[in-house]
Structure 1
């Protein structure tokens, strides 16, 4: 079986798809500055945090096209962990943000 491995950040506008991360203690908030448009539909389907070393999913949230904008994931991560914010847009595919350490 071929594993689908799309190239991140190569489709769509970066200012609408690159996740913004805020860290406060062990609390992390990932906000995607993207409009959720149920009419097209054009929306962020998933936002997740992956462990920078293992690739394991640390936290994830699925969205529907009618959900409010902007799509936001809130999570608690252990101090010292390094994560990478990821998202998937239904029209523009996979996006990967900058790694950060809690």
Structure 2
């Protein structure tokens, strides 16, 4: 084989190598794009979940506040009723306060 033939073969091999590198680079870019798209989707999904959890948390806090108010109202109603029924003695008032942690 002559030098010209060998040089031509080397150039052909280099061209084929460059084509393979370009295909590989294209595949890598395509995979990176898919990864980026998936990360954006996951981030969006996480945000939706976070927002939904916050919404539920707010609703629960409102419900808990309503229940706590009902409990306070009921506790005071019981205390008032007991005080009236039992004649309002100071000793009874102190016992009721201790039972219901009203202070005093």
> Is the TM value for this pair above 0.5?
no
Higher share of residues assigned helix:
2
TM-score range, shorter-chain basis?
under 0.3
Higher RCO (C-alpha 8 Å, min separation 6): 1
TM-score where L is the length of structure 1: 0.18
Structure with bigger gyration radius: 2
TM-score where L is the length of structure 2: 0.18
Higher share of residues assigned strand:
1
